[in-house]
């Protein structure tokens, strides 16, 4: 039988609208792990918040962070693989955006340390983002201009839809990058733009997991940055609150993220798979 792994997005999918995972979901997933179920997550988040959110889950499989730029060992707090943006492409992004780069967060990874460079916090949206993450032992913020272009994992811009689309238009023709633009599910007006290496996507990260022996991938998502993993997964499920385009590209639509739908679906799916394996159905 093929080795199966279930992979879920976090925000808007496994997490409820208050950014938390319920005890119901935690208990289901931990019990499934004891029964031999392989489970991982694929998120735009970094270890700074993921370590806290998943601290009560027994996850031994590599997890996908930063929209696919990173494979991470949660148990040992270690970066396994990183897709850096090439030095030349980093220079092109900086030149094309000019003064706008001052509004970004630039994430670098070196010697298993995540360092975030920023120059100003010019709106409440960015201030809240910074305050939520600044005290994490898994991320260091520094208000310094980036000098080493060789270890850049990605750029993050947080702003209104119009401003984010303007930045997107400025960089979209640069070769060697992948752009992920989406509505922040926790903000009424906030939009996010992330710039990665063109090799850094959730879809490519799933292919890396396949090369590590996980042959059958079943994934869950809600937002546009999940579509690339839907394309490479064997089965892809959208939660009921997902964007319409995500639903249209899903194997099926399951329940809402506030109803523990992902964990409950995995529980039923895994039970049926085991029954089939044992010849009980």
Tokens of 150: 């060789």
- pLDDT for residue 1: 63
pTM here? 0.88
* Separation between Cα atoms, residue 10 and residue 41, nearest integer Å: 7
281: pLDDT strictly greater than 60: no
Q: Are 81 and 208 in contact (CB under 8 A)?
A: yes
Arithmetic mean of pLDDT, 262-268: 98
Would you say domain 4-82+201-277 falls under CATH 3.40.50.1000?
A: yes
pLDDT tens digits, residue range 9-61?
Answer: 999 999 999 999 999 999 999 999 999 999 999 999 999 899 999 999 999 99
203: pLDDT strictly greater than 70: yes
C-alpha distances in Å from residue 185, one per residue of 17, 49, 122, 188, 242: 8, 16, 21, 8, 10
Q: Are 94 and 71 in contact (CB under 8 A)?
A: no
pLDDT tens digits, residue range 88-116?
Answer: 999 999 998 887 777 899 999 999 999 99
* Separation between Cα atoms, residue 109 and residue 115, nearest integer Å: 6
Architecture of domain 87-197: 2-Layer Sandwich (3.30)
The mean pLDDT of the chain is 93
* Separation between Cα atoms, residue 177 and residue 281, nearest integer Å: 47
Domain residue ranges of the chain, discontinuous segments joined by + = 4-82+201-277, 87-197
In angstroms, how far apart are the furthest CA atoms of the chain? 64
Question: What is the DSSP pairing of strand 190-197 with strand 152-160?
Answer: antiparallel
Q: Which of 277, 57, 92, 267 is nearest to 177 (CA)?
A: 92
* Separation between Cα atoms, residue 206 and residue 3, nearest integer Å: 14
Arithmetic mean of pLDDT, 260-267: 98
* Separation between Cα atoms, residue 41 and residue 61, nearest integer Å: 9
pLDDT tens digits, residue range 122-152?
Answer: 888 889 889 988 888 899 999 988 889 999 9
């Amino acid at each position: 039988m093929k080795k199966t792994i279930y992979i879920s997005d976090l925000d808007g999918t496994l997490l409820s609208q208050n950014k938390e995972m319920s005890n119901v979901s935690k208990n289901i997933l931990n019990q499934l792990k004891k029964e031999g179920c392989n489970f991982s997550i694929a998120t735009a988040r970094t270890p700074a918040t993921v370590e806290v959110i998943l601290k009560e889950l027994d996850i031994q499989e590599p997890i996908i962070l930063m929209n696919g730029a990173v494979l991470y060992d949660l148990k040992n707090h270690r970066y396994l693989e990183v897709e850096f943006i090439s030095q030349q492409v980093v220079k092109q992004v900086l030149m094309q955006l000019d003064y706008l780069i001052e509004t970004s967060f630039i994430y670098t990874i070196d010697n298993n340390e995540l360092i975030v460079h920023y120059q100003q916090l010019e709106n409440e949206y960015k201030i809240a983002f910074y305050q939520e993450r600044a005290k994490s032992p898994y991320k260091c913020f520094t208000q310094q201009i980036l000098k080493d272009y060789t270890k850049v994992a990605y750029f993050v811009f947080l702003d209104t839809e119009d401003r984010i689309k303007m930045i997107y238009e400025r960089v979209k023709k640069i070769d060697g990058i992948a752009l992920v633009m989406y509505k922040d599910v926790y903000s009424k007006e906030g939009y996010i733009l992330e710039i990665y290496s063109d090799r850094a996507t959730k879809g490519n990260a799933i292919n890396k997991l396949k090369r590590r022996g996980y042959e059958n991938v079943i994934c869950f998502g809600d937002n546009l940055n999940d579509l690339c993993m839907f394309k490479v997964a064997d089965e892809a499920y959208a939660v009921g609150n997902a964007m319409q385009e995500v639903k249209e590209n899903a194997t099926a639509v399951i329940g809402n993220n506030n109803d523990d739908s992902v964990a409950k679906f995995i529980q039923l799916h895994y039970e049926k798979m085991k029954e089939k394996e044992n010849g009980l159905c």
